Amino acid sequence: MSQRFTVSKSDGDRRPSDIQGEVNQLFEGDEPPTSSGGSGGAEGDDAAEVVVVLKGDSNPKESSPFINSSDVAAEKSQQYDGKNMALFEEEMDTSPMVSSLLSSLANYSNLPQGSKEHEEAENNEAESSRKKPVKAPQLGTLMGVYLPCIQNIFGVILFLRMTWLVGIGGVIGTFIIVFMCCATTMLTAISMSAIATNGVVPAGGSYYMISRSLGPEFGGAVGICFYLGTTFAGAMYILGAIELLLIYIVPKAAIFPLEGLEGAEAEAALLNNMRVYGTILLTSMATVVFVGVKYVNKLALVFLACVILSILAVYAGVIKTAVDPPVFPVCVLGNRTLVWKTFDVCAKTVETANGTVTTQLWRMFCDSPLLNATCDKYFTANNVTEIQGIPGVTSGILAENLFGTYYEKGDLIAKGDLESVEDQDDPLTNANRYVLADITSFFTLLVGIYFPSVTGIMAGSNRSGDLRDAQKSIPIGTIAAITTTSTVYMSSVVLFGACIEGVVLRDKFGEGVHGNLVIGTLAWPSPWVIVIGSFFSTCGAGLQSLTGAPRLMQAIAKDGLVPALRIFGHGKANGEPTWSLLLTACICESGILIASLDAVAPILSMFFLMCYMFVNLACALQTLLRTPNWRPRFKFYHWTLSFLGMSLCLTLMFLCSWYYAIVAMAIAGSIYKYIEFAGAEKEWGDGIRGLSLSAARYALMRLEEGPPHTKNWRPQLLVLVSTDAEQNVEQPRLLSLTNQLKAGKGLTIVGTALEGTYLENYEQTQRAEQALRKLMETEKVKGFCQVTVSSNLRDATSHLLQASGLGGLKHNAVLTSWPRNWKQGDEHQTWRNFVELVRETTAAHLALLVPKNISAFPSNGERFTEGHIDVWWIVHDGGMLMLLPFLLRQHKVWRKCKMRIFTVAQMDDNSIQMKKDLTTFLYHLRIDAMVEVVEMHDSDISAYTYEKTLVMEQRSQMLKQINLTKTEREREIQSITDSSRGSIRRKNPAAVTTQLSVTEDPPAASKEEKPEEESKSASSPVSPPEQVQLIHDNTTPASPATPATPLTPGEGAQSPGEQVQMTWTEKCDGEPAKPPGAATPEGIKDIFNMKPEWENLNQSNVRRMHTALRLNEVIIKKSSEAKLVLLNMPGPPRNRTGDENYMEFLEVLTEGLNRVLLVRGGGREVITIYS
């Protein structure tokens, strides 16, 4: 993406200068041309124009006035002037002057498009042609933080459930609940204040703080939890408003009448009424929010005034009870509280002038109004008592209300100190006449119902974009609001317990006090103050929830964290979140369909508690990690307080409802994993990344304590790949094999080497790194990529081998592909590099894996339904050959393949015993495999072997000519041509089976003169027998241990292997090769068809070729149909002059096999039989 824009700057005092520059990328390209003080531009021209081209990705960046930001254009307009800073002249393009930086900081405004801008956008739609500048935010602590927090914290629970909570839990129990919840929010507010004052917090409030502190995964998960909590809070407020409307304000408005219904029927009718009216109210509220948020903002102060007036009315009523308690009588039959609805006098009979007359209460329990009527047994046996519902703060009722009384659903609300005569065997009759418990109550339920009344502490931080000084206002306003509300809550618990009778407190819907709202009975001057006030305040809180929740969802959607939610980032032209509002209304409706305030409250408690828990975690993490950027202005915080707050949140979650807590955690965990796998990758400098760094450092330091045990050994791969001219990987299947070997576990470093200098090849390095990352992502290889640049590829590969990894987290195995076209003349450096790599891995004690024909290996999408993985175990090198097939078979590509292990028995080995021992060994290793022992007897060296060796050595000599002078080259070519003539004349080389009798012991004098030719064959004449005699090759191994005679001191330093390999070199460089026929009598050549060129062959090479051919023959015979063949990779020669021969041996060894993995151990055991 490229952005082009123009910035004009006026300067009245000095003459302007034209500056034009193009910035493509930091530290790239030449600095833009600058003109001197006043030479450019006309006299009257008063604007300098700066043209800046910015390139970058399409991801939205956070606005910042610092370096590397979109404000670079403004900084560029600061013309470099004067010679005082000439030392930094070349850096002016990328590093602005401090004066320039401070100037841009002073003009930096962080006003996102919040509700005010929506309002202005609506008002100014007609005046779109003339744009007004957006006003700077002007809200202070009181209006911006304190009052919104007060309005959000005080809510429906205080008015509808607080008295009931005190009655059920007792003053002590409820005080503990209130104290715990208020302490949790206070500790969370302290943590939030620290985060909010650690830099500029744009609009987005708690979501922004958590996501930028804990990373996108946690931020998204907690943001969605906070969104769900806010949405369900809207449902709770709407249900509270409907409860006030249908029970206290206009009971007759019920669509499903409750009259005459009992038990479950009455409950169902009430819930259905709540659902119908709740849906109607939700629809009307959503419409108001959709039409315009400005109406909500205008009504906010009215709703806040209702809340404050209602609370003041309660305190006024408490004071009045001390002087003149209000008259709210409660009628009690025996000790059972009666529903005071259909009777007028709390008595069975009334004395009048005409005598004793029965009352309406009598008619409720008896079958006729006559005194001799048949009445309810309990009614007959017990007296009716009228007690005072509000005895007053001086009455001493507090002592009775100190301890809680918990009920089962359907229990009678009884006054304990009154006498009751009842027969335990008699069933309860006329149940609808008594006040009953509508739900089963217990301590943890009370916690879940109460906690929503302390939520809302984020209201101030959510308005951070509208505050004049957010870093000052948020801590002061939030903590002051929590202190105020906590004081009100705690005092109200004590005052309710001191003023109101226990049976009235436990009467949730005020049925015993003429259907009045219980807290309303305490209020002064009238209960209607509380009823009307609380109705409006709950409606206002519901509107605030329906306004805030969609904006929160829109912020999450616009961040692009959850791909599935991106549609909710769109809205109306002025930015109103239309789709988010629709989603919010749907989720809110699900809460309304639950229809019970007591059931919805614990749900939103979970989501808010989880959100607060992560705010505390974010603060604690940042404090403990001591991130350099963690410098909050708010100093009154400590990590222990954050941990205490986090522990309280977790405790309250499980106290409220353990199953809701598990569901909430599962939702958050699912969102976390979804964002991790499918979400956009964001780098926000979050604390979790800092925690990962600390944990990684700790783990690396622990790994340094000692080498890993064999049981813990696993292949930590360094994968060496090559790239083409466009920096694309040439062997992508190498990464497929890596994935199959690792199955996504352990360390993988994918490295490539580039030739040149780092400064000149920086762009190619970046392209190569991107190509590696892309391929790793495609092949699902989890790991790191590394690109090394050096003057030549050999050194670059060596640097990769040495420098990759860190501490204990280093590679222990190298995976590289076989050089394909190594026989081509122009590819000689490729195989030389390969052989050097083999030597270096051996020196570094690293395992080496070399797949041959890598293009034939399966991709990750393929599946083998049958087949074998064949292991040819020739020498033991630590057990890598056993471990690799086991690892491969963990992957779905190779899962159906069976494992076969072949080992080679020599002449003097007991093959039957070998098979038994190997089977036992595999059993102890817990590896399932078929075992086969292949017998390879010492056989004759065939003519084909000699021919193959001859061709190999001739090719070696041809390659050697590259480094010779012209004269030497001509001489060498002539000698090679002469020695090849006999070979060219051959007619049928395959039919030749005659072999040469070789004597390995030349005369002693010859050895002393030329010890380096010790292992070279000195052919001697042989008497021709009647038939061709085949002589077995029972000579010494390829590297004889001891020379037959002592070496001279200068030669003694060389190992025997080096002498073997130096034979032809000395011949090439030191003296011309002898004519091949000179040492052999003509008779032998003619009679036995001996080839003269065989005589001078290096016998070590002949034996090696013989071994390679025989092994290849056996492997093809046994494993030609195998899906994969693994075999030991022989080591390279000790001196470098036989490297090309080594490549030829490996080529012959693996000839005719489709997929081969050559394995060379790292010199340590990697597999064990012990547990």
The model's confidence at residue 950, banded by pLDDT at 50, 70 and 90, is low
More confident residue, 618 or 939: 618
Written as one string, the DSSP assignment of 338-396 is B--SS-SSSSSEEEETTEEEE-HHHHHHBSSSSTT--B-HHHHHS-EEEEES---TTS-
Judge if pTM exceeds 0.85: no
852 forms bridges with which residues in the sheet? Answer: 1156
**Length of the chain measured in residues:** 1171
Cis peptide before 133 (omega within 30 of 0): no
* Cα–Cα distance measured from residue 701 to residue 920, given in angstroms and rounded to the nearest whole number: 39
pLDDT in tens, 222-268: 888 888 998 999 999 999 999 999 888 888 888 888 776 766 788 88
Query: Which range among 38-47, 106-115, 494-503, 734-743 has the greatest average pLDDT?
Result: 494-503
Integer angstrom CA distances of residue 697 from 644, 691, 786: 27, 10, 20
Q: Which of 338-347, 452-461, 679-688 has the lowest mean pLDDT?
A: 679-688
pLDDT tens string 905-930 = 777 777 788 888 888 888 877 778 88
Better pLDDT: 980 or 1046: 980
416-422 average pLDDT score: 81
Identify which of 574, 155, 515 has the alpha carbon closest to the alpha carbon of residue 339: 515
> What strands, in cross-sheet order, belong to the sheet with 930-935?
784-790, 748-755, 717-721, 813-816, 847-852, 1156-1160, 1124-1128, 868-873, 898-905, 930-935
- Rounded mean pLDDT of 95-113? 50
Query: Which region among 533-537, 576-580, 1057-1061 has the lowest average model confidence (pLDDT)?
Result: 1057-1061
- Cβ atoms < 10 Å from Cβ of 353: 5
Identity of the amino acid at 606? M
Q: Is 873 helix (H, G, I), strand (E, B) or coil?
A: strand
Reply yes or no on whether the pLDDT at 22 is more than 50: no
Residue range 349-365, pLDDT digits in tens: 888 888 888 888 888 88
DSSP state of 82: S
Q: Which run of H or E residues covers position 750? A: strand 748-755
Average pLDDT (526-553) is 88
Instruction: Give backbone dihedrals phi and psi of 50, rounded to 5 degrees, phi first.
Output: -120, 125
Query: What is the rounded CA–CA span in Å between residue 1125 and residue 852?
Result: 10
pLDDT of residue 1090 exceeding 60: no
> C-alpha distances in angstroms, 1036 versus 355, 1040, 1041, 1058, 1104?
140, 6, 9, 15, 12
1083 vs 339: which has the higher pLDDT: 339
| Spatial distance between the Cα atoms of 115 and 131, rounded to a whole number of angstroms | 18
Highest mean pLDDT among 462-466, 475-479, 753-757, 940-944: 475-479
| 463 vs 474: CA distance, rounded Å | 9
User: Starting from the edge strand earliest in sequence, which strands make up the sheet with 329-333, in order?
Assistant: 336-337, 329-333, 384-388
Strands 1124-1128 and 868-873: parallel
SS3 216: helix
Average pLDDT over residues 316-345: 88
* CB atoms near residue 958 (< 10 Å): 14
At 830-886, the pLDDT tens digits run 778 888 888 888 888 888 899 988 888 888 888 888 889 998 888 777 677 788 888
Bigger pLDDT: 501 vs 262: 501
* Contact between residue 890 and residue 920 where contact means Cβ atoms under 8 Å apart: no
pLDDT (tens digit per residue) in 669-720 = 888 888 888 766 666 666 667 677 777 777 778 777 666 666 666 778 889 8
CA–CA distance, 291 with 122 (Å, rounded to integer): 10
Q: Residue 1019: pLDDT band by 50, 70, 90 thresholds?
A: very low
Residues 201/112, Cβ–Cβ less than 8 Å: no
| C-alpha dihedral sign at 903, 907, 909, 912 | positive
Distant-in-sequence, close-in-space partners of 283: CB < 8 Å, separation ≥ 6: 585
DSSP symbol at 712: G
User: In this structure, what token pair is assigned to residue 1020?
Assistant: 């001697």
Write out 473-542 in H/E/C secondary structure.
HHHHHHHHHHHHHHHHHHHHHHHHHHHCCHHHHCCCCCHHHCCCCHHHHHCCCCHHHHHHHHHHHHHHHH
Helix, strand counts (H, E) of the chain: 38, 17
Q: Is the dihedral of CA 102, 104, 105, 107 positive or negative?
A: positive
Query: What are the two backbone dihedrals, phi and then psi, of residue 995, each rounded to the nearest 5 degrees?
Result: -125, 160
> Measured between alpha carbons, how far is residue 635 from residues 191, 193, 457, 471, 475 in Å?
10, 9, 19, 12, 10
Considering only the C-alpha atoms of the chain, give the largest distance between any 2 of them, rounded to a whole number of Å. Answer: 165
Average pLDDT for residues 810-821, to the nearest whole number? 84
Can you tell me which residue has the tokens 């007690």?
Answer: 387
Average pLDDT of span 63-73? 44
What contacts 832, CB < 8 A, 6 or more positions away?
794, 1139
DSSP β-ladder status, 329-333 and 336-337: antiparallel
Contact in structure between 835 and 798 (CB atoms under 8 Å):
no
- Which amino acid does the sequence have at 438? D
Reading the block at residue 810, the tokens are 């280093």
